[in-house]
Amino acid sequence: MSILIGTDTKLVVQGLTGREGSFHGKRNRDYGTDLVAGVTPGKSGEDVDGVPIFDTVAEAVAETGANTSMVFVPPRFGADAILESADAGIEVIIAITENIPAMDMARTVNYIRTRGNGTSLIGPNCPGVISPGKANVGIIPGEICEPGPVGLVSRSGTLTYQIVHELTQRGIGQSTCVGIGGDPIPGSNFIDILEKFEADPDTDMVALVGEIGGDAEERAAEFVKEKMTKPVVAYIAGVTAPPGKRMGHAGAIISGSKGTAEAKMEALGAAGIRVGRNPTEVAEIVQELRG
């Protein structure tokens, strides 16, 4: 098995006719993902390399059975694109778009969570999700991934790639790799994904990649301590980051004594989670624990 996406994924790309949407949508299709439709208002009846374009997500779902969407639209339209997919019955929404206004995401995430119908939103400002050997939705390079039993959840796109590569180099494959993004208001947090990995019979260990800012890692540590039976290995980026300076992501900022890498590593360690000092050490710990 895998989480979020797999062999039953039917993908619609919102913004498939754009440069980035077309490039990555076709890469996902080349990987083996079932790309069934694109959506660009006003371009219904056109196609991109044989993939039909629809005016709305609802039309795409009705005609193709799409159950997963990838959002590649300009930031000012990002929240509405996510809401359109949710209202069309899409089960998994993966928003790659960055710079969506925080207030837009606040109302969007609240709407999706309070509906309670099981819709999963990943992102925005994320690299996407890959279940190696099954499906790839986003911009994670499939070439560095291998099928296997280790799940990965990360706030950082680049560190996702590096740790996945480190694991693959050691012959350790991945069940699903999830980039949740580093924005202050993500569609899914660490706990949402950890719950799914805990329930996945084909995931026997999880690597968690956090970074400075917020308290998501501390809350994840409590969840692991109280709810998880599978081992978790972690890495926190930003050990040398100065307070008050944003590092990369909008959510990666230390405020006073809160959100520091040291505080996060301490909380993770107290929960019994081994923390690597760098991506290579994370892979080494995973290899050690797997025997």
281 secondary structure, DSSP code:
H
- The H or E element spanning position 36 is strand 34-39
Sign of the alpha-carbon dihedral angle for 219, 187, 140, 145: positive
| Catalytic, out of 10, 155, 196, 249 | 249
Is the distance from CB of 72 to CB of 127 less than 8 angstroms?
no
User: In the annotation, is 24 catalytic?
Assistant: no
CA distance 201 to 168: 20
CA distance 91 to 110: 16
Is the distance from CB of 153 to CB of 49 less than 8 angstroms?
no
Instruction: Measure CA of the first residue to CA of the last residue in the chain; give whole Å.
Output: 23
Tokens (6 digits) for 14: 């919102």
Q: Any idea which residues carry the catalytic annotation?
A: 249
